[in-house]
Amino acid sequence: MFDTKKGPVYEPDHPALNGMYELLKKDAATLSGSRLYEDLVDVYESINMDLKEEMDNGKTIKAS
């Protein structure tokens, strides 16, 4: 876990996001608060939630 100006960011529930998490964590001190960084954190958290639901439900989530 690491903190950003918007709050904590937790380790991914799905291993496919480990690289993105590590990148966000590495650059948090420098980039936190910038619009691009916060958008990337939002994307990371959204994908993490979708993948967690997919793992929990065994279903594929499809874009509409």
Query: Is there a domain that residue 43 lies in?
Result: yes
**pTM, whole model, 2 decimals?**
0.82
- How many structural domains are present in the chain? 1
What kind and span of H or E run contains 31? helix 18-31
Domain extent, residue 7, equals 2-57
Query: Is there a domain that residue 64 lies in?
Result: no
Query: Is there a domain that residue 11 lies in?
Result: yes
Instruction: Give the tens place of pLDDT for each residue, 12-55.
Output: 999 999 999 999 999 999 998 899 999 999 999 999 999 998 88
Q: Is 7 helix (H, G, I), strand (E, B) or coil?
A: strand
Is the pLDDT at 60 greater than 70? The verdict is no
